[in-house]
Structure 1
């Protein structure tokens, strides 16, 4: 997190959170959603300003409930996730080695690989510490052909392997897409969760 953001949090600690205005799409694009986009359930306009994208990436974190957010100065802007909190690109470097890079430009080192029931590929890293959920990322759909060149999938689509390194072949595990958020401990729609909480509070009033 940027120092200027930490300072803003100390100076203005009680700024209300924001939900629904920022979305991460299935291809790792950040999108700004105005009121019209939110009302229509539309993804919103992609953010292309490089400095703003860098600011988002440096200040992108998750809270204790698994809701991902961008800390915009003193305000926490919760992110709507079309799928996972991270989207990765698969490539081959100059030495012929496979690489995975997340939407923030950071390296992603897979400890496990997953195949969902819609043909999507997921990777998880090793958990940073005991009791912590590992980072989970969906593979960009433009990279499925390259993935298939380094994978063997059974005819029934229920098993297989991914050859990541000479000394690291990952078994492909299967998972229903609908179970991914719960399995890996993140909230896909903080806006929907906030609305449900508000409805429940109203019912109790």
Structure 2
């Protein structure tokens, strides 16, 4: 489908969800395998980017997680579960200062955990949830990495990336006056470590 057709489809589908919600509450089946969040913070339906602002705003305002760490778009009683290319939140750095924002257009809040993967990707646990710092902002992060010897250069960072997951990096991320120990993690282990599912599936029925 072309992008306009996809957007018209999801818009009509959202309306249909609302109608079914009123008619069939609470027996509305949840959806899996339709929605995805990419590493640029874009919503996709069946691999087509959703660009219509009304739809994006609706998803952003109704995005959350269940007890499994599976993230979804809530529409009435129905949930559209989201596959994640990276993390539930795509984080971006400010022009000045340390206050990160999310792809939802909201503040990420305080950061309580930081980890770096084998490719230099930065994973942060924020007050809003687990996030991945967009790779466009890695220079911003590098300026905030410190060790006992001061700021971290690219050679020291390369040494850290070569470490196995779980190794002590000797580095910290300095944000808003606090130092967070920088963990070494491989990307494959991020979902389990940060408590989310990348590819939610329907729970098995008993």
* 2:118 match: 117
| 1:76 pairs with one of 76, 79, 93 | 79
Counterpart-to-counterpart distance in 1, 2:72 and 2:23: 18
> How far, CA to CA, are the matches of 1:113 and 1:75 in structure 2?
33
Given the two structures, how large is their TM-score scaled by the length of structure 2? Answer: 0.73
Q: CA shift at 1:118, angstroms?
A: 2.2
Give yes or no for the alignment of 1:17 onto 2:30. Answer: yes
* Structure 1 runs, 4 residues or longer, greater than 6 Å off: none
User: What is aligned with 2:165?
Assistant: none
Give the gaps of 5 or more residues in structure 2. 1-17, 147-151, 161-168
Farther off after superposition, 146-155 or 116-125: 146-155
Note the C-alpha offset of 1:92: 2.8
| Matching residue within 66, 88, 94 for 1:85 | 88
Query: Counterpart of 2:56 in 1: which secondary structure?
Result: helix
Aligned residues: 170
Deviation at 1:140, TM superposition (A): 0.6
Moved more, 10-19 or 48-57: 10-19
Residue 24 of structure 1 deviates from its aligned partner by 0.5
Give 2:173's aligned residue. Answer: 162
- What corresponds to 1:104 in structure 2? 104
Q: Equivalent residue for 1:144?
A: 138
Q: Aligned match of 2:199 in 177, 186, 189?
A: 189
Change (3 A) 1:99 1:92: farther
Summarize the Cα distance change of 1:188–1:87 in structure 2 as closer, same or farther, 3 Å threshold.
same
Deviation at 1:197, TM superposition (A): 4.3
Give secondary structure in 1 for the equivalent of 2:100: strand
- SS of the residue aligned with 2:93? strand
